[in-house]
Amino acid sequence: MKICVVGCGAVGSLFAANLSLLDDVEVVAFDLSQPHVDAINAGGLRLSGAGDVVGHPRATSDPSEIGACDFGIVATKAMHTDAAIAATAGSFSGGCVATVQNGIGNEEVLAGHVERVIRGTTFPAGKLLEPGHVQWDVKGDTTLGPFEPSPAPFAAIEQLADACTRAGLPTAAVADARGPQWRKVIFNAATNPVGALTGLTHGRVCERPDLRALVTGLVDEGKAVAAAQGIELDSDPEALIDHAAKPEVAYGHKASMLQDVEARRSTEIDYLNGGIVRFGREHDVPTPLNEAIWALVKGVEQSWQQ
């Protein structure tokens, strides 16, 4: 089985390094950062923290060097999906492409370029420390399922899930992967931008009753949009929010969007709150708070061009 991981930031590297340990899987790591690619090819792709792994995927920044693959795993930031899949689609003309990205709407973008798409959500997280080296912060489950309008065959999804699980990334193949996906997007959309706009860590957001009420307002809109689509959340995002606020979990964690804002990098807001607003409109569900938060974070991004 040949798998190309498209976008080897933190999450992509977790998949590429772990999968490359399997004897029956050939892994290509595609990333635009030449220093990262060179470091992987020279010394391997190292993970440390929640697991210590050195994998040896073949890395490249040149799409023509990927070759034909059975699977793609797209792990870029959501705003780079279109460019990434446009460049690499040729390698997947006979294969299936999964997304393990944040937000909603990535599958639609993939389906614009490839035929068989796998809806995916993953909870492991980390950060890129230096070229070739990723800190693995949290382990967690991954869920894969068919993207309904342009699905991969279920047997293929099971095959990919099995490989991931054997590689140490517990992964379930399910008929409807929207529940975990919406739980995660609702969690992210209700907490990440609130941290980004206020500068507060996750725990400090949650311990202010008025702000925690705003988070719940955002969650409730997301739940209504999910319900209107017939999506059953696999568990309550509120529980995830409260769990993460515990001192021993992620009280002091700065949401990735806050890290983006502090570094003046584009955020994934269009695919989080923007995605909830878009799907809400399609199903006549009002999402005024998510619209407001979306506009505010876009405003923050615009302030950097001053």
Kindly list the residues in this chain that would bind another protein in the complex (CB under 8 A).
Answer: 194, 197-200, 204-205, 208, 210-211, 213-214, 217, 269-270, 274, 277-278, 288-289, 291-296, 298-300, 302-303, 306
Q: Whose Cβ is closer to another protein: residue 84's or residue 205's?
A: 205
Minimum gap (Å) between residue 49 Cβ and another protein: 24
Measure the CA–CA gap between 99 and 84, rounded to whole angstroms: 12
Q: Whose Cβ is closer to another protein: residue 210's or residue 248's?
A: 210
β-strand partners of 130: 133
Measure the CA–CA gap between 84 and 10, rounded to whole angstroms: 16
Distances (CA, A) of 65 to 89, 90, 121: 13, 11, 28
Minimum gap (Å) between residue 105 Cβ and another protein: 13
Minimum gap (Å) between residue 279 Cβ and another protein: 12
Q: Whose Cβ is closer to another protein: residue 128's or residue 296's?
A: 296
Six token digits for residue 8: 């080897």
Count of beta carbons in the 10 Å neighbourhood of residue 177: 25
Minimum gap (Å) between residue 192 Cβ and another protein: 14
Q: Whose Cβ is closer to another protein: residue 149's or residue 209's?
A: 209
* First CA to last CA distance, the chain: 49
Closest by alpha carbon to 28, among 89, 69, 75, 78?
69
Task: Enter the DSSP assignment of 97.
Answer: E
What are the phi and psi torsion angles at 27 (to 5°)? -115, 130
Q: Whose Cβ is closer to another protein: residue 98's or residue 258's?
A: 258
Minimum gap (Å) between residue 212 Cβ and another protein: 10
Q: Whose Cβ is closer to another protein: residue 162's or residue 207's?
A: 207
Minimum gap (Å) between residue 138 Cβ and another protein: 23
Phi-psi region of 89 (alpha: psi -120 to 50; beta: other; left: phi over 0): alpha
Rg (CA), the chain: 19
